[in-house]
């Protein structure tokens, strides 16, 4: 059995790489995962996951752990210039909010349980279509499948010379995890349900936005958005007086955010000419970095990590390249649409009008990448 086991080398221990490695190992592969950083990144603030990634977490056995420290807020509320635009209860949509450290911990436990060999401080510098990777220390390894999950600046992708288009949006965001401060917020605004996600948009006279997302009973994820051209709005540490002047009801949490250094991320979208080359497949931000508007960057990454593992496992050894091409043909259109829609929302700031859970937003949120019938044309 062990002699016939196929082998995968995975570059990158983010949400994409950890999910792909775990899925492959559970499907019988021997898997080695390389993370360049000396330890797993537990920084990063909060995250929203929808059915498409939750289905994958079910399959890799990670859901009980994920559920233990995450929540489903009662509604998704949108305000513009402090006027309520909508309160969407998302009935029938499965979603969870949580912290990024908790998602990392959950995926790491799942990867170890599945028997993935995890190397930290191990940098992949290149890959070949024939299935060989080279590490920064000069050593090489051969595999039946190479997964490039090494993020938006992917070395695997760039070593293969895959043509890429990068577009930057005018807005960006600084993210924080802070204590909930629920009773103080309740005292400031008693009629508000502070368990909701609240998307506070301010467009006039100045574009500033706070996305307020409770991540569990104790922790709150807040994302502060401003145009990158606004030097004060995008400054880190944040300009506390400016933010409190626009969002006075959030003062207790903004004060905590101001104590953290923070990092401003400009939104960007990258599109590749192709996601695969021979025995190499690219997933996650290495393949399709997207604007966060639909909260689907990690979701799409985990979705494609799962479908890749299924497609590679079904392929015979001699037909890996063709199987990967077919995987991209089937899976990519959906991701492309989610990416386009996220960019459109980010560029138009259309979310400020509320009622955003229509079209691609709902479709992506409900999608089930583990359904074998998902590509069948519905009558
Ligand atoms: P990364 O997280 O970048 O991981 C890549 C890993 O590879 C890193 O650990 C890196 O150290 C490692 N690495 C890099 N180079 C090498 C190398 N040469 N060799 C070995 N290892 C290497 N998505 C959602 O689904 N929901 C959300 O709510 C959400 N909110 C977001 C908010 C913001 C502001 C932003 C910017 C993004 C958001 N996203 C969200 C998107 C999501 O964070 C990313 O799409 C996702 O984390 C990408 O995962 P990844 O594993 O592909 O890449
Ligand atoms: N949704 C989420 C998010 O973190 C952001 C956006 C939407 C969960 C920004 O960080 O619209 O930019 C957004």
CATH number at residue 143: 3.50.50.60
Q: Which ligand is nearest to the CA of 16?
A: 1
Angle 196-269-203 (CA atoms, 0-180°, nearest 5)? 45
Instruction: Please state the pTM of the whole predicted model.
Output: 0.97
Strand partners of residue 166: 270
φ, ψ for residue 209, nearest 5 deg: -145, 140
Determine the pLDDT at residue 43: 67
132-135 β-sheet, strand order? 124-127, 132-135, 140-142
Angle 341-342-346 (CA atoms, 0-180°, nearest 5)? 115
Instruction: State how many domains the chain has.
Output: 1
Q: Which ligand is nearest to the CA of 266?
A: 1
In a domain, 36, yes or no: yes
Whose CA is closest to atom 26 on ligand 1? Answer: 295
- CA 263 to mean position of chain CA atoms: 17
Mean pLDDT split into 10-residue runs, the chain, 379 residues: 80 98 98 96 87 98 97 98 96 97 97 98 98 98 98 98 97 97 97 98 95 98 97 97 97 97 95 98 98 97 98 92 98 97 96 94 95 86
In a domain, 162, yes or no: yes
Q: What is the pLDDT of residues 180-234, one digit of tens each?
A: 999 999 999 999 999 999 999 999 889 999 999 999 999 999 999 999 999 999 9
Q: Which residues line ligand 1 (CB under 6 A)?
A: 11-17, 34-37, 41, 47-48, 123-124, 149-151, 155, 173, 175, 223, 265, 284-286, 292, 295-299, 301
In a domain, 345, yes or no: yes
In a domain, 135, yes or no: yes
Q: Which ligand is nearest to the CA of 267?
A: 1
DSSP symbol at 58: H
Range of the domain at 273: 7-42+98-166+269-366
Å from CA of 260 to ligand 2 middle: 19
Distance CA 135, CA 10 (A): 12
Q: Determine contact, residues 133/119, Cβ cutoff 8 Å.
A: no
Q: What is the pLDDT of residues 128-185, one digit of tens each?
A: 999 999 999 999 999 999 999 999 999 999 999 999 999 999 999 999 999 999 999 9
Nearest of 301, 350, 361 to residue 12 by alpha carbon: 301
Q: Which ligand is nearest to the CA of 305?
A: 1
Write down the residue that tokens 């506070």 correspond to.
200
Nearest of 371, 132, 45, 347 to residue 334 by alpha carbon: 371
Å from CA of 366 to ligand 1 middle: 22
Å from CA of 44 to ligand 1 middle: 10
Distance CA 118, CA 367 (A): 30
Q: Which residues line ligand 2 (CB under 6 A)?
A: 48, 173, 175, 211, 223, 292-293, 295, 351
Q: Which ligand is nearest to the CA of 201?
A: 2
Whose CA is closest to atom 8 on ligand 1? Answer: 14
Distance CA 24, CA 3 (A): 16
Q: Determine contact, residues 141/96, Cβ cutoff 8 Å.
A: no
In a domain, 86, yes or no: no
Whose CA is closest to atom 3 on ligand 1? Answer: 151
In a domain, 226, yes or no: no
Q: Work out which ligand 2 atom sits closest to the CA atom of 97.
A: 8
Q: Work out which ligand 1 atom sits closest to the CA atom of 155.
A: 18
Whose CA is closest to atom 5 on ligand 2? Answer: 292
In a domain, 155, yes or no: yes
Nearest of 207, 192, 214, 199 to residue 246 by alpha carbon: 207
φ, ψ for residue 184, nearest 5 deg: -65, -40
In a domain, 187, yes or no: no
Cis, peptide link before residue 272, omega less than 30° from 0: no
Nearest of 46, 120, 138, 56 to residue 305 by alpha carbon: 56
Whose CA is closest to atom 7 on ligand 2? Answer: 293
Nearest of 17, 88, 62, 9 to residue 298 by alpha carbon: 17
Nearest of 115, 137, 140, 112 to residue 36 by alpha carbon: 137
């Amino acid at each position: 059995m062990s002699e016939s086991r196929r082998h995968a080398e995975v570059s990158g221990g983010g949400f994409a790489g950890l999910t792909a490695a775990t899925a492959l190992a559970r499907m019988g592969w021997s898997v080695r995962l390389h993370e360049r950083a000396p330890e797993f990144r537990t920084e990063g603030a909060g995250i929203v996951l929808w059915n498409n990634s939750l289905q994958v977490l079910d399959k890799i056995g990670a859901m009980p752990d994920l559920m233990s420290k995450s929540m489903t807020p009662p509604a998704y509320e949108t305000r513009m210039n402090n006027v309520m635009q909508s309160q969407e209860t998302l009935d029938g949509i499965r979603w969870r909010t949580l912290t990024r450290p908790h998602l990392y911990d959950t995926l790491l436990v799942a990867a170890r349980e599945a028997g993935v060999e995890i190397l930290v401080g191990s940098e992949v510098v290149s890959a070949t279509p024939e299935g060989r990777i080279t590490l920064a220390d000069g050593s090489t390894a051969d595999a039946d499948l190479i997964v490039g999950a090494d993020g938006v600046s992917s070395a695997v992708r760039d070593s293969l010379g895959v043509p890429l288009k990068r577009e930057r949006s005018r807005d960006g965001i600084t993210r924080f995890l802070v204590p909930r401060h629920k009773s103080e917020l309740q005292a400031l605004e008693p009629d508000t349900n502070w368990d909701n996600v609240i998307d506070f948009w301010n467009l006039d006279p100045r574009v500033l936005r706070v996305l307020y997302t409770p991540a569990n009973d104790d922790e709150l994820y807040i994302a502060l958005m401003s145009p990158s051209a606004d030097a004060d709005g995008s400054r880190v540490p944040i300009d506390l007086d400016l933010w409190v002047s626009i969002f006075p009801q959030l003062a207790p949490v903004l004060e905590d955010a101001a104590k953290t250094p923070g990092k401003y991320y400009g939104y960007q979208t990258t599109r590749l000419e192709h996601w695969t080359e021979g025995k190499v497949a690219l997933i996650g931000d290495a393949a399709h970095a997207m604007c966060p508007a639909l909260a689907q960057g990690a979701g799409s990454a985990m979705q494609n990590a799962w479908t890749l593992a299924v497609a590679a496992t079904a392929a015979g050894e001699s037909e890996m390249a063709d199987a990967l091409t077919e995987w991209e043909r089937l899976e990519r259109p959906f991701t492309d649409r989610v990416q386009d829609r996220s960019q459109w929302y980010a560029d138009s700031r259309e979310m400020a009008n509320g009622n955003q859970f229509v079209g691609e937003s709902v479709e992506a949120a409900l999608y089930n990448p583990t359904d074998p019938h998902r590509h069948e044309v519905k009558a």
